Amino acid sequence: MLASVTGQLLEWYEWSAYAVFAPFIAGALFNPDNPVSALLGTFGVFAIGFLFRPLGGIVFGRIADRRGRRFVLVTTMLMMAGGSVLIGLLPTFESIGVLASILLLLARVIQGFAHGGESATANSYIAEIAPARSRGLWGSTVFMTIFAGAFIAFVVGGIITSSFSEAEVQSWAWRIPFLLGALLALVALWLRVGMVESQVFQQDEESPAVAATSAHGALAEAPAGRSASAPAGRSASAPANRSALAGAPAGSSGPARIPHRGLGAESFSPDTLKPLSTPLSIVLIFFLVSGVAASNYTWTSYVSTYAVTQEGMDASGAYWALVAALVVGLAALPFWGAVSDRVGRKPVLITFAVGVMVTQFPLMSFIDERPWTLFVATSVALFVLSAGAALLASVMAETFPTAARTANIGLAYSLATAVFGGTTPYVNQLAASQGVPWASNLFIVFAAALALWAAFRLPERKGIDLTIVR
């Protein structure tokens, strides 16, 4: 858990640092004679990095489903760190011309490819190692690393813009967060090398016959009246054995059941357990992630740029306002994850989608040149967003079977973040520059509407044993 979360945190810090320092990157690595074009170019590269995430999600997803989750999480950590070093050491546009922009694009392509594999594998891994009855809470940590990575990036942004003059930041200080991230990635890499493999993945690798034989053999050797999985001093029927048991023949009695982590088939209706077709599952997850991604990248990657370039807010004030708002978002994620473990996934997902549709326009209109307006608007937006973001890992794991879980998540998740996440800052900036900011708000509301439809269509599988998902 620590190794996975630490690595994700640093990867999301490196990813977010690009958006946080976008105005300075635009001036250093693009033609500074046209600031609007340079900023659009910077966000264009941001979007292209996202376009390579589906490819990374598919490639690394297949590798993770064959070689295991740990191998991919180590590899993607190395690639993200390498891309960060490249960005931090790039010569300026003034020095090498358009080649600076091309090398920046290459670095973001490497990071985008790695990020696709990282996101898919991390979502699978955390959901698979989590206790079933707390899967929503544990799964929320995946998105907590996204908010925490942005939090650290904005803290670093606030410190740098407060400690150096604007000319110094534009000249060289914007490179600090990328080089710092690459250095800290070595710590995360050391942790990940010692990670254990997901038990659900290992169990799925065994043939059903072998698994059943092993389980029955263990039960036969256990003392009478107690299953092999029950701790000493506890009967198998005691309440302490909270994880439901699946795999028993219908109508059977006695201890001849195979223990699994989570609720068994007897706890769900046939319609709920009925396998969704792979294309439908991918489309539903694509729509759900699209709603989360569009809102997330508006309120964590773009809104500070909007406040600075469109409303005239001081850059340092904007960064610190986002830092404070991200604390609200970080606290909201485990809250919504725990709520979903009690009331189910669907009510919380519906709350998220409807909340975004109702609040997007008024919250963006509330922001002016005063940093506190940015803090209030972003805090409310992140609280609402967290209701959907916290549940992504658990919902995706409860939708896709283990044998293809990471590959399918890699495709649906990465494609959604590419289409509705990576393009969002660009769409927002383009709409603002054309004097029609309402158009970008409409884009966010449309994505939330897609997520709402997906929330109604996805089956409610809260706490299900992941090995029976088909």
Question: DSSP per residue over 213-224, as a string?
Answer: HHHHHHHHHSPT
Q: State yes or no: pLDDT of 39 exceeds 80.
A: no
Q: Compute the average pLDDT of residues 439-462.
A: 94
Considering the domain boundaries, does residue 166 fall inside one?
yes
Distance CA 53, CA 117 (A): 7
Which pair of structure tokens corresponds to residue 418?
Answer: 């590419």
Confidence label for 435 from pLDDT (cuts 50, 70 and 90) = confident
What pLDDT is attached to residue 194?
Answer: 67
What pLDDT is attached to residue 187?
Answer: 76
Distance CA 385, CA 293 (A): 9
Beta bridge partners of 263: 464
Dihedral in degrees, nearest 10, Cα atoms 328, 329, 331, 335: 130
Confidence label for 384 from pLDDT (cuts 50, 70 and 90) = very high
Q: State yes or no: pLDDT of 169 exceeds 90.
A: no
Beta bridge partners of 464: 263
Q: State yes or no: pLDDT of 145 exceeds 50.
A: yes
| CATH number for the domain harbouring residue 389 | 1.20.1250.20
Q: Which of 47, 162, 56, 98 is nearest to 414 (CA)?
A: 56
Q: What is the DSSP letter of 402?
A: G
Q: Is 368 exposed, middle or buried (0-12, 13-18, 19+ CB in 10 A)?
A: middle
Considering the domain boundaries, does residue 204 fall inside one?
no
Considering the domain boundaries, does residue 217 fall inside one?
no
Q: Compute the average pLDDT of residues 203-210.
A: 50
Distance CA 225, CA 243 (A): 18
Considering the domain boundaries, does residue 21 fall inside one?
yes
Split into its structural domains, the chain has a count of: 1
Contacts with 325 (C-beta within 8 Å, 6 or more apart), sequence order: 374, 375, 378, 379, 382
pLDDT digits (tens, 9 = 90+) for 298-354: 898 788 888 888 888 988 888 889 889 989 999 999 999 999 999 999 999 999 999
Confidence label for 7 from pLDDT (cuts 50, 70 and 90) = confident
Considering the domain boundaries, does residue 222 fall inside one?
no
What pLDDT is attached to residue 225?
Answer: 36
Distance CA 151, CA 16 (A): 9
Considering the domain boundaries, does residue 139 fall inside one?
yes
| 222: amino acid identity, one letter | A
Confidence label for 206 from pLDDT (cuts 50, 70 and 90) = low
Longest dimension (CA), the chain: 82
Structural domain range at position 286? 2-196+272-468
Considering the domain boundaries, does residue 229 fall inside one?
no
- Of the ranges 94-98, 247-251, 347-351, 435-439, which one carries the lowest mean pLDDT score? 247-251
Considering the domain boundaries, does residue 427 fall inside one?
yes
Average pLDDT, the chain: 81
